[in-house]
Amino acid sequence: MTTLDRFFPTDAERTAAMAQSFSDMAQGMQPSRILVIAYAVRAAIESGAPVANFTVGDFAPAQFQVPPLLKRAIVEAVEADRTNYPPAFGIPELRAAIRGHYAATLGLDYPEEAIVVASGARPALYAAYRCLLSPGETVVTPAPSWNNDNFSQLVGAKHVVVQSRPEDAFMPTAERLAPAIRDARLLVLNSPMNPAGTMMRRAQMKAICQLVLDENRRRDAAGERSLYLVYDQVYRMLTFGDLEHVTPVGVMPEMARYTLFCDAISKSFAATGLRVGWIIAPPFIADRVKALMTHVGAWAPRPEQHATAALLADDGAIADYLAGFKGAIRARLDRLHDAFAAWRAEGLPVDAIAPEGAIYLSVHFDLEGRPDFPDEDSVRLWLLEEAGCALVPFSAFGDHHNRGWFRFSVGAVGLDEIDACLARLYPALKSLG
């Protein structure tokens, strides 16, 4: 056997080797900070430490399974030998099912040529960046938000962050977005929102849509490139109480010309590993996305596509599944929120925003700046080491202004783990005085 390590750069040679080898994009690329934190936590868990892992936006199959219909239909498709390449933009059955599902649940009647299937929402989002932005053009997103800084870097775009506020439940407002969009080509929004677990209200959405439409009328008159809105609604079925999930096109139909939807089965059906998502866009934009998919091969596996088509066509199966699924998620979020609300009333240095949607809770720890807490990372590590409470700070989502805010993600924990974590966290916080 030939040992090959001697042919690779040593640690001391690594920097020079990178400069000699990589593109500018690759040299500037950073790994997901969320996953870096999550992998470190996983190592602690594997070593036997008592840790409640609230870091990743994923679902542990021991806690949440995919719908039974979806599971059966995948097996049936494999047994029927539906295992060859699917069309790069999705099988006809799935695109028809998505069209019917959007018409029935959102009241939006898109033509099938507007729909492009991908291996999850992530490549759909990247495709929007790649197809609409030239290097140096501007993307506007609120902070916190998920992964937009990385997508911007990958395509060479300028990323402009509009800071949101806890008093607005970390949702952007038209007033705050208005100064930033004059030079923007892309505005990216998400509701229900990762990381905050909050939702856009109809009036907020209408004001933002009016802003986009007014700006595009100005650009049309001036002969300038259009402003597009990418709307990530991958958590759209995970809403609580009477809160309404709203869409740009549902609020103002004229927005169909400028809106791209990104969606998937990953969150609403605990199917993160099955990799079925889609983008819905004006057909002339969808055509370019289809062309991109023929080159990168980011299509969903054929068996999963057939199974997703069967699921989306069965309203009863979806309703039955969501009744239990949403109830279990809500129970976990409420258990956490109720504890933090009680602790805040007791005078402990915590606060939380009531959960509205998705699988997340926003919690504030007012510790940074105290003795032994010089920075955010010291707070995160203290929570992990003293209470076995593994969290991701909002700074990992591009928010460097609202210090002390952390995301709790409940897809990989049970109520017993939450109770055990709270039992460790309460005395730890009390000990701070």
Give the pLDDT band (50/70/90) at residue 19.
confident
The stretch 338-364 carries a mean pLDDT of 98
The stretch 334-352 carries a mean pLDDT of 98
Residue 218 shares a structural domain with residue 262 = yes
The stretch 77-96 carries a mean pLDDT of 97
Q: Which residues pair with 189 in a beta bridge?
A: 231
In a domain, 36, yes or no: yes
Q: Which residue matches tokens 């030239």?
A: 134
Residue 269 shares a structural domain with residue 299 = yes
Q: Which residue matches tokens 């933090």?
A: 340
Q: What are the pLDDT digits (tens) for 392-431? A: 999 999 999 999 999 999 999 999 999 999 999 999 999 9
Residue 46 shares a structural domain with residue 195 = no
Give the pLDDT band (50/70/90) at residue 46.
confident
CATH code for the domain of 110: 3.40.640.10
Residue 243 shares a structural domain with residue 373 = no
The whole-chain average pLDDT of the chain stands at 94
pLDDT at 12 (0 to 100)? 87
Residue 177 shares a structural domain with residue 261 = yes
pLDDT at 217 (0 to 100)? 98
In a domain, 75, yes or no: no
pLDDT at 271 (0 to 100)? 98
Report how far residue 69's alpha carbon sits from residue 248's, in angstroms, rounded to the nearest whole number.
31
Residue 197 shares a structural domain with residue 290 = yes
Report how far residue 128's alpha carbon sits from residue 298's, in angstroms, rounded to the nearest whole number.
13
In a domain, 276, yes or no: yes
pLDDT at 113 (0 to 100)? 98
In a domain, 273, yes or no: yes
Residue 329 shares a structural domain with residue 425 = yes
Least confident window among 5-14, 168-177, 400-409: 5-14
Q: Answer whether residue 47 shows pLDDT above 90.
A: no
In a domain, 79, yes or no: no
Q: Which residues pair with 408 in a beta bridge?
A: 361
Residue 356 shares a structural domain with residue 221 = no
Nearest 5°: phi and psi at 26?
A: -65, -35
Residue 308 shares a structural domain with residue 398 = no
pLDDT at 50 (0 to 100)? 86
Q: Answer whether residue 32 shows pLDDT above 80.
A: no
Residue 211 shares a structural domain with residue 309 = yes
In a domain, 115, yes or no: yes
Q: Answer whether residue 16 shows pLDDT above 90.
A: no
CATH code for the domain of 405: 3.90.1150.10
Give the pLDDT band (50/70/90) at residue 232.
very high
The stretch 105-117 carries a mean pLDDT of 98
158-163 and 184-190 as β-strands: parallel, antiparallel, unpaired? unpaired
For residue 172, cis peptide bond before it (omega within 30 degrees of 0): no
% of the chain at pLDDT higher than 90: 87
Residue at which a domain ends, from 314, 337, 352: 314
Residue 330 shares a structural domain with residue 221 = no
Residue 340 shares a structural domain with residue 395 = yes
pLDDT at 389 (0 to 100)? 95
Residue 363's domain comprises: 21-64+319-430
Q: Answer whether residue 138 shows pLDDT above 90.
A: yes
How many independent structural domains does the chain possess?
Answer: 2
pLDDT at 110 (0 to 100)? 98
pLDDT at 39 (0 to 100)? 73
SS3 track for 230-281: EEECCCCCCECCCCCCCCHHHHCHHHHHCEEEEEECCCCCCCCCCCCEEEEC
Q: Which residues are within 8 A (CB) of 315 and not within 5 positions of it... i.e. 6 or more apart?
A: 104
pLDDT at 355 (0 to 100)? 97
Residue at which a domain ends, from 277, 293, 314: 314
Q: When comparing pLDDT for 14 and 54, which is higher?
A: 54
277-280 and 259-264 as β-strands: parallel, antiparallel, unpaired? antiparallel
Report how far residue 240's alpha carbon sits from residue 128's, in angstroms, rounded to the nearest whole number.
29
% of the chain at pLDDT higher than 70: 99
Q: Which residues are within 8 A (CB) of 137 and not within 5 positions of it... i.e. 6 or more apart?
A: 157, 158, 185, 186
C-alpha separations of 251 from 110, 117, 194, 206, 375 in Å: 15, 25, 22, 6, 42
Residue at which a domain ends, from 314, 338, 369: 314
**What is the SS3 assignment for 360?**
strand
In a domain, 10, yes or no: no
Hey, how many other C-beta atoms are within 10 angstroms of the C-beta on 48?
7
In a domain, 76, yes or no: no
Q: What are the pLDDT digits (tens) for 285-322? A: 999 999 999 998 899 999 999 999 999 999 999 999 99
